[in-house]
Amino acid sequence: MAFRTLDDADLKGRRALVRVDFNVPMADGQVTDDTRLRAALPTIEKIRKAGGKVVLLAHFDRPKGKRVPSMSLAPVVGPLAKLVGAPVAFADDCVGPDAAKVVDAMKDGDVVLLENLRFHAGEEANDPAFVAALAQNGDLYVNDAFSAAHRAHASTEGLAHALPAYAGESMRRELDALEAALGSPQRPVLGVVGGSKVSTKLELIHNLILKLDRLAIGGGMANTFLYAQGHDVAASYCEKDLADTARETMAFAAKNNCELLLPVDIVVAEKIEPGAAARVRDLGQLDEHERILDAGPKTVARLVAAMDASKTLIWNGPLGVFETPPFDAGTTAAARHAAALAKAGRLIAVAGGGDTVAALHHAGAAQDFTFVSTAGGAFLEWMEGKTLPGVAALDL
């Protein structure tokens, strides 16, 4: 798709309504992780340096259209100002007189944060009247919140039709990475999909089969495929009622020339606990109380070889119960190998999804991946082939 970026915008003296993702972790009214604040800095700085006025729009938590004091964005102001290196003004509302007063007082280069969009029911309803009220405080609109782009809300979709619309720097980087991973990738393309349930990732798997050369399936969902092949999974988590669906998926992959890489050996234990006695087993060779908790060394070696033979990798979901060592070994080894290939310029490695990001950080591999998306639901819906309203609205 083609979209305008800030390079195309005349920003001098103009009020830029910037949709950001400031839905940050908080404890006792304090921001505990400023990753999402940092993600907005390139866009904020670009607008400030060009002499524009930065009016930040964001939501926090789920107040469901009502003013909930504990869900105010006010605690974000201090940490954000420290990161920006300049004062950040705050308005007690995102529309109406309170917002207008603060915005009208801005000078070129100033930064303002407006109060939680979701204090108004019109935000999630994409109410045209609320869109118009938001638009009164801006001359142009910038979407820098890919993580909210799967929602057709007033601040993610409606404003893009009410004002000249541009992609922010974080949004641009995300869209460029996704295009490189699945839109027009360098081939061969390898996918890794893990996690516990096949049922939650069927759409994802089917869409990837149509786009990939190889797809490795790991985590608990691999157990369902192994069971569908006739292997005993003993006490392992398994959606046995989806065995027919798994067989249909395998046939669908074969029909579309996508090689499915399923486990060829497994790591098992009777309990999920740190330092549990883990054993490597061949497929189907489990005792009745044993559970499959990680990919085996042969499986990981085959996946690593597939990475070596690929030009592009897209990854969602861990290969095992990575949160509990020693069942993190498979995910960690594969992640570190992918990171090394990406760092050496031999592989475009793109990953996303909550558990995936946590697993890559756990492995110490995230910083060397080509791109790691923290968008969660939006990343998954994009991988499923769905149209994201907030992105479609930016299309020229």
The residue to which tokens 């398994």 are assigned: 238
Helix (H/G/I), strand (E/B), else coil: 44 = helix
Domain annotation for the chain: domains and CATH numbers: 6-172 (3.40.50.1260), 185-383 (3.40.50.1260)
Which pLDDT score, from 0 to 100, does residue 377 have?
Answer: 86
- What is the amino acid identity at position 390? G
Which pLDDT score, from 0 to 100, does residue 374 have?
Answer: 82
197 carries an active-site annotation? yes
Which pLDDT score, from 0 to 100, does residue 56 have?
Answer: 98
Which pLDDT score, from 0 to 100, does residue 101 have?
Answer: 98
183 carries an active-site annotation? no
Low-confidence ranges of the chain (pLDDT < 70): 1, 396
Which pLDDT score, from 0 to 100, does residue 391 have?
Answer: 94
* Nearest-angstrom CA–CA distance, 17 and 197: 39
Q: What is the 3-state secondary structure (H, E, C) of 270-311?
A: CCCCCCCCCEEEECCCCCCCCEEEEECHHHHHHHHHHHHCCC
Which pLDDT score, from 0 to 100, does residue 64 have?
Answer: 95
Evaluate the CA torsion angle 208, 357, 350, 84 in order and state its sign.
positive
Which pLDDT score, from 0 to 100, does residue 375 have?
Answer: 86
Q: Which of 65, 96, 354, 385 is catalytic?
A: 354
Q: Which of 51, 109, 284, 377 is catalytic?
A: 377
For 271, counting Cβ atoms within 10 Å of its Cβ (0-12 exposed, 13-18 middle, 19+ buried), the class is: exposed
- Is the CB of residue 311 less than 8 Å from the CB of residue 187? yes
In angstroms, the first-to-last Cα distance of the chain is 8
Helices (H), the chain: 35-49, 77-84, 96-104, 121-125, 128-135, 159-162, 169-178, 202-209, 220-228, 243-255, 297-308, 329-343, 354-362, 377-383, 389-392
Which pLDDT score, from 0 to 100, does residue 2 have?
Answer: 84
Helices then strands, each counted (H, E), the chain = 15, 17
296 carries an active-site annotation? no
Which pLDDT score, from 0 to 100, does residue 307 have?
Answer: 98
Q: Which of 197, 279, 298, 336 is catalytic?
A: 197
48 carries an active-site annotation? no
Helix (H/G/I), strand (E/B), else coil: 306 = helix
Q: Which of 36, 53, 118, 211 is catalytic?
A: 36
